[in-house]
């Protein structure tokens, strides 16, 4: 097969190009980078970093970004000189290696938005992750492949902060001028996918009028699309993997005037407490070709102990979309009929389900309230209250208002219904109350998708102004109004007002949007 070799012949070492996952797994085993579990999946450890390091992401300041990027703690500026110095140092570091792994791939199922990537990795396990997560070219596409973006990842390379302009030895640097991403000092594979997501969050809204979204998506038999927004650990992957609906994707999507399309070619699911009964599709995806991260085995076996938090809470598995039986791949679906905001409420005061007006949808989209679940970012040990604009602030190079305005235009154009689902606590805050059962959340989502909840009466919450259903099949009535689940109503109102105050303090949009409208 003839392959486009642009930039491939610069490498003086052995280049492992476009290897199948089976060969990458074989190499990982030979290099003792991982071992197989009893179902045949490769299990690795990512080293010091078992979650993203959002404070160590940089964007190069240049004529493209200087006046467009929303410079903040997630979008740290770095000079072009520092970028060049790091790029040259990384390439020199890789040149000294006897082997490198290179993969060509696409992102974006919608062809008008598709971008071609060349991913260069220091080890086969990271290249295996790229094979799972990005869209593979077919034979004809590969023969004519021309990479637009270069992604260079070297976990063993360490920056010198005093020389390279970084805070620490680990870093992710994006140059839009040079269409290059540099990732060094961290073996956490999630940095690969989220750096590319950041690139798309800049390019697609500005160039294509596409709303880029941190959400999962599925579609029903009647063609109704549903979106599930939420930060890691709130249930995006779990709730979108529905045996009665086809999975579009579990994490990153675009919304153009016609509808929804996936950015990726795979899934990256949390596996903490994974069970066949609770999440059967994900459980069965842990098989040959899957890449499992930072789990441990039961003593004396190669059976994964999914309950173990010995390494991290943020245990993960990546696998191609084809590992899920009921999927729609590399295509576009219609606009969403229902949109779910998944919120892990550590205060335990939000209802399990609320119907939102268009103004409330804008407000809560901008707030992106949840509790960061332990382990999804470096240093997080237990749920921490956070507001992440548009449910993805660490990945948004533009001002949050830009995405929120696009979101409002889309829901107005297509008449999408928006719901907030609390997957966190009820009956009290974290440490006192109980985590809402997954079975109840599934019942709520099912009632909405089946149009059952639209038929029931709603009442307005006195603190938040949200609309709460009187009943929902499969959910105890006393749970629907969160105040009824608390033994001390006065304590509930105090906690609710505390959270309301945090919303009011946080929201930069409050002069234009009221929480109770």
Alpha helix positions (H), 371-433: 400-414
Q: Please give the positions annotated as active site.
A: 52, 194, 214, 232, 236-237, 251, 316
Residue with tokens 């410079």: 71
Q: Contact at 8 Å (CB) between 237 and 251? A: yes
Cα 2 to the chain's mean position, in Å?
35
Q: Which of 182, 213, 168, 186 is nearest to 51 (CA)?
A: 186
Distance between CA atoms of 13 and 18, rounded to whole angstroms? 16
Residue with tokens 């070799």: 5
Helix/strand/coil for 114: coil
Cα 312 to the chain's mean position, in Å?
18
Distance between CA atoms of 318 and 201, rounded to whole angstroms? 22
Q: Contact at 8 Å (CB) between 214 and 390? A: yes
> Which residues make beta-bridge pairs with 336?
225
Q: Which of 187, 183, 160 is nearest to 171 (CA)?
A: 183
Distance between CA atoms of 376 and 367, rounded to whole angstroms? 19
Helix/strand/coil for 390: helix
* Burial classification of residue 220, based on how many CB atoms lie within 10 Å of its CB (0-12 exposed, 13-18 middle, 19 or more buried): middle
Cα 479 to the chain's mean position, in Å?
29
Distance between CA atoms of 83 and 184, rounded to whole angstroms? 12
């Amino acid at each position: 097969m003839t392959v486009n070799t642009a930039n491939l012949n610069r490498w003086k070492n052995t280049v492992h190009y476009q290897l199948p996952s089976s060969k990458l797994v074989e190499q990982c085993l030979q290099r003792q980078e991982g071992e197989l579990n009893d179902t045949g999946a490769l299990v690795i450890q990512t080293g010091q970093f078992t979650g993203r390091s959002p404070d160590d992401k940089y964007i190069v300041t240049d004529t493209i970004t200087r006046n467009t990027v929303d410079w903040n703690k997630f979008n740290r500026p770095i000079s072009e000189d520092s970028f060049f110095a790091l790029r040259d140092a990384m390439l020199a570091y890789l040149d000294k290696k006897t082997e490198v792994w290179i993969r060509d791939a696409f992102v974006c199922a919608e062809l008008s938005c598709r971008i071609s990537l060349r991913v260069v990795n220091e080890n086969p396990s990271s290249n295996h992750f790229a094979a799972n997560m990005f869209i593979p070219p077919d034979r004809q596409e590969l023969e004519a492949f021309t990479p637009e973006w270069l992604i260079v990842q070297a976990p063993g390379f360490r920056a010198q902060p005093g020389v390279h302009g970084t805070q620490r030895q680990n870093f992710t640097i994006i140059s839009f001028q040079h269409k290059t991403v540099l990732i060094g000092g961290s073996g956490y594979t999630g940095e690969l996918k989220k750096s590319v997501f950041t690139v798309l969050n800049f390019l697609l809204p500005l160039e294509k009028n596409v709303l880029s979204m941190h959400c999962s998506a599925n579609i029903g038999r009647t063609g109704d699309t549903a979106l599930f927004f939420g930060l890691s650990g709130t249930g995006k992957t779990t709730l979108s993997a529905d045996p009665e609906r086809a999975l579009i994707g579990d994490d990153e999507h675009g919304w153009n005037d016609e509808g929804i399309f996936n950015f990726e070619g795979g899934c990256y699911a949390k596996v903490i407490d994974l069970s066949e009964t609770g999440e059967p599709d994900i459980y069965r995806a842990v098989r040959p070709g899957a890449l499992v991260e930072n789990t441990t085995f039961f003593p004396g076996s190669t059976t994964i102990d999914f309950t173990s938090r010995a390494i991290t809470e943020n245990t993960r598995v990546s696998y191609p979309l084809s590992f899920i039986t009921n999927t729609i791949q590399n295509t576009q679906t219609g606009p969403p009929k229902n949109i779910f905001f998944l919120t892990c409420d550590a205060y335990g005061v939000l209802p399990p389900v609320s119907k939102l007006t268009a103004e409330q949808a804008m407000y809560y989209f901008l707030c992106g309230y949840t509790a960061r679940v332990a382990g999804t970012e470096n240093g997080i040990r237990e749920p921490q209250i956070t507001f992440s604009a548009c449910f993805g602030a660490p990945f948004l190079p533009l001002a949050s208002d830009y995405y929120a305005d696009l979101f409002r235009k889309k829901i107005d154009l297509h008449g999408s219904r928006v719901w907030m689902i609390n997957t966190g606590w009820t009956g009290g805050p974290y440490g006192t109350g109980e985590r809402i059962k997954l079975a109840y959340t599934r019942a709520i989502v099912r009632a909405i998708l089946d149009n059952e909840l639209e038929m029931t009466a709603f009442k307005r919450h006195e603190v938040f102004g949200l609309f709460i259903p009187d009943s929902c099949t499969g959910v105890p009535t006393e749970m629907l109004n969160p105040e009824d689940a608390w033994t001390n109503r006065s304590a509930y109102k105090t906690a609710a007002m505390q959270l309301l105050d945090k919303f009011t303090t946080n929201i930069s949009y409050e002069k234009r949007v009221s929480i109770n409208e």
